[in-house]
A = this chain, B = another copy of it.
Amino acid sequence: MAQVTLTNVKKVYFGGVEAVKGVSLEIPDGGFCVLVGPSGCGKSTLLRMVAGLETITSGDISIGSRVVNQIGPAERDIAMVFQNYALYPHMSVYDNMAYGLRNLGTPRDEIDRRVKEAARILAIEPLLDRRPKQLSGGQRQRVAMGRAIVRKPQVFLFDEPLSNLDAKLRVQMRVEIKKLQRALGVTALYVTHDQVEAMTLSDKLVVMNGGRVEQIGLPAEVYKKPASKFVATFIGSPPMNILDGTIDGPGIVALGDAILEVRDLRQDLAEGTAVEIGLRPEDIEIASEGAAGTLPFDVEFIEELGATQLFHGQLAGLPFVMQAATDTVAAQAGRLWITVDPDRVHVFDKQSGARLGRS
């Protein structure tokens, strides 16, 4: 077990692509850090540099107290779970797990003990003789985990380990991974572009965009105080509604005719500054018509999700979505008047997208 530290790490690929543009990050011993971001933002590149599969263009990576920049993957004391699992198709499950240990020259009975133990933990004991082809997606996932566990590494690296599974299995495996990591107390670095995974798994959530870090924080923090419009719309589903507004005074934004109070807003903004206002669908409340600070929302159609309903429509000429528990709001198209808790209004700079909060 060890902490992982990245200091101003950069990666320029051979062709000149700058995939990672200077990332500093510290994952405490036993911490679970999730990298999330859109496709191509450099998540895998970063992870692979930690694994030693890509060279580091500049900056330092250390695992424990060792700077590992020049150390080969096998010596870094890490284990990695790949998106497509990368199981050796020609080896049995047992051999898949044992392979790394064999390469280290671990004694036979020690290997056997460790493989069996990992298999027990993962409940894949009956599968040990099978080939990867004979396994379901979830089982393969477990084997890939098993391969990582047996080596007793200091750090687990995951590159979208669940994205090949169907929705149900994904939920289940997500919980398992988290439990396992807790139980083993291993430091974990986990890449995903699924924000639900990111939210649920992480102690430390890193949102990346275009090779840079947009925000690092606890998941709840990131959700509640997204540092930028990018983060705000990336995290949360259905995504945050974004509307055009202007500053109308300290802690006040105007949204067309209506006026909204905002708790977290910089004080030094000139009145009339154009801004973007973010409202999460689930933060919308129904108000009585025409009350102060209410907005008119024209509902076009409703999606039934079981526990909740999604109201799709227009607000101030822009598409707008509201989420409400089933039966709390009459499910019919037409105009609704809504309001939002000032604590839950987010304001972003129109140009840079940065959050205009009190800092």
Contacts and interface: CB of A to CB of B under 8 A. Distances in A.
A301 B178 contact: yes
A223 interface: yes
Interface stretch (A93-101, A192-200, A246-254, A262-270): A192-200
B167 A220 contact: no
A70 interface: no
A17 interface: no
A227 to B, nearest CB: 15
Interface residues of A, number: 36
Query: A interface, by DSSP: helix, strand, loop or mixed?
Result: mixed
A318 interface: no
Interface in A243-285: 280, 282-283
B304 A282 contact: no
Contact of A237 (B171, B179, B200, B220): B171
Contact of A306 (B199, B303, B326): B199
B171 A220 contact: no
A336 to B, nearest CB: 19
Contact of A326 (B175, B220, B305, B310): B220
A137 B14 CA distance: 28
Contacts of A304: 199-200, 219-220, 223
A235 interface: yes
Nearest 4 CB-CB pairs, A to B?
A282-B307, A200-B303, A223-B306, A219-B304
Contacts of A308: 282
A141 interface: no
Nearest to A219: B304
A18 B237 CA distance: 40
A236 interface: yes
A238 interface: yes
Nearest to A310: B200
A305 B175 contact: no
A6 to B, nearest CB: 24
Given A235-B306, A306-B235, A306-B236, A194 B220 contact: no
Interface in A100-149: none
Given A167-B237, A171-B237, A280-B306, 17 more contacts: A171-B238, A175-B303, A175-B312, A179-B301, A182-B301, A199-B303, A199-B305, A199-B306, A200-B304, A219-B304, A220-B326, A236-B307, A280-B307, A282-B307, A282-B308, A283-B307, A307-B323
